[in-house]
Structure 1
């Protein structure tokens, strides 16, 4: 396996109406050897373009791509020692699964005994031994995806590239395949770069995550770091489901004034934000940090909001609650034991120990 390095990568496309469009802007990062790195972001953010530049399917406008110690700017895709798994399974319908798995090796004139050994090894890893003599039309979507992964495994590449491979699967199968891909990474000790628009997929699979938006890398961090310390409002709003709430506010010493309420800051937060005293800020709080006071062992003295709930969504063990704070709609996530109902008054505790503040002009976290 090998590390992958992006060095000041820029990718521009020509658009008939807009002229030059910059899809990736000055991206620099290193994927560590044997790391599972995930690119995540909305459609058009540059994540798939970045993956295709690693594969050699797109040529960067400027900058350098390294795989291991080798500069691969001018290296043909087939010579980069990578294997790619696409959203489309791209299986040959007239071939058996065994033939599909061995097709690439056969084209490389690999000896038949070696091909058979690699197919059997991949089939064992993926538990698809009983499928080898079937045709793709006889398989389910999840089985086809395993075959696509198996075709990559038999090549024993330095780097695996996954481009939204689970997008065509139903929700239950996606969860199952996420577990299988995570276990596969541990078993192979492989370097994996994975692209998805699904932040749940990114958080559950990635050892580190690259969050992109508009061709710019917003933050590169572990799932825990992204969730607890997002670098800006885009990351805070994109990572987490439901997303973080953003409320217009003003700092006043140890107080935080919103349109409808005044909150008292914990002492450590007062010291952290003292340079913004008197300034307008964006107050960020995650839905799970808004708690129903009726379930608390000790009733808090401060930061309790009395409101009427607009909507309550029942999700089994949890409730999603929606209410207004001035012009801002707030989402909370509370235990179903609270037994809250829409249009009824409720008292909610805002846990400001978990709060974030953002600069309203730059949208950067303070």
Structure 2
């Protein structure tokens, strides 16, 4: 396997409709460790797939350098980069059996029959394809076809695996199953995997580290835990997490008092010091839905920051309820116990756990440390 280094990489495209150019990826610099599972995530058009295609050699960067291992691969053809790519479309040959699909690339590489057989047996065993080798792709389910596409990459034994939204064509249940299988596969192979998705749940469950992108810019690179607990800015805070983080327009009235509309919250003593420089300024308070409690079930958190609020709507999800209400012009979501008895349009006392609060600079949208 191999590490990957991206060094000041920029990619611009010609904008045929508007004229001029637009930047798909802007001055990206980071390193993917050997045997790491790294995920690119972000909304459509953020530059994540372009980044993957540049690593693969399917797109040529406008400037900067790409290393695979210790080699600069800027001018290297995709077939010479020792990578294998799995696409959203399974791209299987419909007239071939599964065994023939798995063997096709190896035959083109002039691999011996004995080695081809050995590699197919290995891949089919770890992917559960043993009983499917004589079938055609049309006889398989979507999940099975995706496993074949992954198997075709495995038999090549590349330095790097590249996955471009491979699960987006599957239904919700199959996506969960395939996520588990891909995580197990990474553990078995000890492979370097670069994975692109727009689904933050996929990113959080699969990635050892995640690259969050927006409008061609890298917003933050961190582990799922760090992204969730310590988002660098409002974009990351709002993109990572389901439901996303709530944002409240606020004023830091004093070192330990935060006014949100008509409410005044007390900032926990442990957090006061880091916000001292923002006294008197407009800020944005960030709070996760699970950190807003129905007061009747706030057994384990401080209850000094609470308010009676009129409920707008509720979604009952069994073990938990999502409760919606407005504060100022913003819609707020609370994730409360499924045992909470709350009805739409009634007033209810909610506890805001500011031990888990984040404050953001309203102008730069950066988190205040």
Q: CA deviation at 1:301?
A: 5.1
**TM-score of the aligned structures, taking structure 1 as reference length:** 0.99
The residue that corresponds to 1:135 in the other structure is 136
The residue that corresponds to 2:84 in the other structure is 83
Structure 1 pair 299–198 and aligned structure 2 pair: CA distance change class (3 A): closer
Q: Contact 2:85/2:161 (CA < 8 Å) preserved in 1?
A: yes
TM-superposition CA deviations, 1:87-123 (whole Å, max 9, x none): 0000000000000001000001111111011001000
- Segment drifting more, 159-168 vs 265-274: 265-274
Q: Contact 1:40/1:210 (CA < 8 Å) preserved in 2?
A: yes
The residue that corresponds to 2:353 in the other structure is 351
| Partners of 2:119 and 2:71 in 1: CA distance | 26
> How do 1:116-155 and structure 2 match up within 5 A?
116-155=117-156
Structure 1 pair 317–145 and aligned structure 2 pair: CA distance change class (3 A): same
Q: CA deviation at 1:260?
A: 2.8
Q: Indicate whether 1:114 and 2:111 are aligned.
A: no
| Partners of 1:218 and 1:327 in 2: CA distance | 26
User: What are the ranges of 5 or more consecutive residues in structure 2 without an aligned counterpart?
Assistant: none
Q: CA deviation at 1:297?
A: 3.4
| Partners of 1:208 and 1:301 in 2: CA distance | 35
The residue that corresponds to 2:12 in the other structure is 12
> How do 1:281-296 and structure 2 match up within 5 A?
281-296=283-298
The residue that corresponds to 2:195 in the other structure is 194
Q: Indicate whether 1:64 and 2:68 are aligned.
A: no
Q: CA deviation at 1:298?
A: 7.4
**SS of structure 2 residue aligned to 1:75:** coil
The residue that corresponds to 1:217 in the other structure is 218
| Partners of 2:92 and 2:28 in 1: CA distance | 33
**SS of structure 2 residue aligned to 1:337:** coil
The residue that corresponds to 2:207 in the other structure is 206
Structure 1 pair 63–24 and aligned structure 2 pair: CA distance change class (3 A): same
Q: CA deviation at 1:300?
A: 4.8
TM-superposition CA deviations, 1:33-69 (whole Å, max 9, x none): 0000000000000000000000000000000000001
| Partners of 1:299 and 1:6 in 2: CA distance | 44
Q: Contact 1:260/1:326 (CA < 8 Å) preserved in 2?
A: no
Q: CA deviation at 1:327?
A: 1.9
**TM-score of the aligned structures, taking structure 2 as reference length:** 0.98
Q: Contact 2:127/2:147 (CA < 8 Å) preserved in 1?
A: yes
- Segment drifting more, 34-43 vs 268-277: 268-277
The residue that corresponds to 2:105 in the other structure is 104
The residue that corresponds to 2:312 in the other structure is 310
The residue that corresponds to 1:276 in the other structure is 278
**SS of structure 1 residue aligned to 2:345:** coil
**SS of structure 2 residue aligned to 1:137:** helix
| Partners of 1:297 and 1:99 in 2: CA distance | 60
| Partners of 1:290 and 1:277 in 2: CA distance | 24
TM-superposition CA deviations, 1:249-304 (whole Å, max 9, x none): 00012110011311000012211100001110001001000011111337955210
The residue that corresponds to 2:26 in the other structure is 25
The residue that corresponds to 2:2 in the other structure is 2
Q: Contact 2:303/2:352 (CA < 8 Å) preserved in 1?
A: no
| Partners of 1:261 and 1:134 in 2: CA distance | 65
The residue that corresponds to 2:325 in the other structure is 323
Q: CA deviation at 1:26?
A: 0.2
Aligned Cα RMSD in Å?
1.0
| Partners of 2:153 and 2:292 in 1: CA distance | 45
Structure 1 pair 300–203 and aligned structure 2 pair: CA distance change class (3 A): closer
